[in-house]
Chain A
Amino acid sequence: MAFNVLIVDDSSTMRAVVKKAIRVSGFDVGEYREAADGQEALETLRRHWVDVVLTDIHMPRLNGLELVAKMREDELLNSIPVIMVSTEGSEKKVQESIRLGASGYIQKPFHPEQIRRTLSQVMGEAQEGQKNDSAAPEGSDF
């Protein structure tokens, strides 16, 4: 099953590198979308269906942590997994990201295999969540 991916980073070069790493990793992607900051990412998410977001943390206008927090508050966007991709890899930053609603964290530098492993884990968990949400409750008419 191919997933639609949104890559968020204020560096167009870094967006291209993340895209290349996903391609090299072999993860099955249907469509790539890009955004230069959190604000642009929200605008993109409201116009296009995206299955997973990979975002840098430090960006102008709306940073990656603010983006994930806003997505979790939005009932249309709150089920979309978000993976942080950042040079910072401290336990403090990782925990803060999880607390705000991130589903995964990749520290730069990264191998394509790390991208694939994290995406597979996160998307596998996301699909499991969707199955549980759509299961008919006992005693229903379905």
Chain B
Amino acid sequence: MIQPHLKEAISRVMETMFFLPVQFAEGPRTLGQWLPCDATVLEAFIDFRAHRSGRGFLLVPAPCVREMAANFLGLPQAEVSEEQAQDTLKEAVNMMMGQMLSLLDRGGGYALGIPRFGGPADLSKFQEGQSPVAVLAFETGNTHLAAGVIES
């Protein structure tokens, strides 16, 4: 139920605000297999209350965060500050989950929390079986990213 709406939300946000069309990975894989191991992967998350409550998360390698921020702001990558990079990641997860929820419930029976920057991601907490998880692995032309929802 969540996955198709999350997929649409990710596509819309990445293309419209960050000018980065994405393709979604096919087939099962772990985040450890999908995300690059030669770069720090950064996390942003946002809690929400809806028909069911949960937390949306976005995992992006640090160089891609910088690229997203540069595109978002219309700046050269070298001019993007650490604060702008973190803000960009927070806004990205905010918009993705906001879009997903508005596609799931057009009546508006949901509430979004405040997006948070989580720093370097601990991928072990996203392993399947630990809590209900919907995860989407996707890529831009340059790198692999992931986003999903943990239901509480």
Contacts and interface: CB of A to CB of B under 8 A. Distances in A.
Interface of A: 11-14, 16-17, 20, 24, 58, 86-93, 107-111
Contacts of A109: 12-13, 16-17, 95, 99
A87 B95 contact: yes
A14 B91 CA distance: 8
Interface of B: 12-13, 16-17, 69, 72-74, 83-84, 87-88, 90-91, 94-95, 97-99, 102, 105-110, 112, 114
Given A58-B114, A87-B99, A87-B112, A13 B16 contact: no
B16 A87 contact: no
A80 to B, nearest CB: 26
Nearest to A60: B114
A12 B87 contact: yes
Given A20-B73, A58-B114, A108-B17, A88 B87 contact: no
A91 B84 contact: no
Contacts of A86: 98
Contacts of A20: 73-74
Contact of A13 (B84, B102, B105): B84
A68 B83 CA distance: 29
B112 A13 contact: no
A24 B114 CA distance: 28
Contacts of B95: 87, 108-109
Nearest to A92: B108
Contacts of B112: 58, 87-88
A110 B105 CA distance: 20
Contacts of B83: 12-13
Which of A91, A92, A93, A109 has the most chain B CB atoms inside 10 A of its CB? A109
B98 A89 contact: yes
Given A17-B73, A108-B17, A91 B99 contact: no
A16 B99 contact: no
By Cβ-Cβ distance, the 5 closest A-B pairs, closest first, are: A90-B108, A87-B98, A92-B108, A13-B87, A109-B16
Contacts of B114: 58
Contacts of B69: 13
A89 B9 CA distance: 13
Contacts of A87: 94-95, 97-99, 112
A14 B94 CA distance: 12
B105 to A, nearest CB: 7
B72 A88 contact: no
A90 B74 contact: no
Given A20-B74, A58-B114, A109-B16, A90 B107 contact: yes
B4 to A, nearest CB: 18
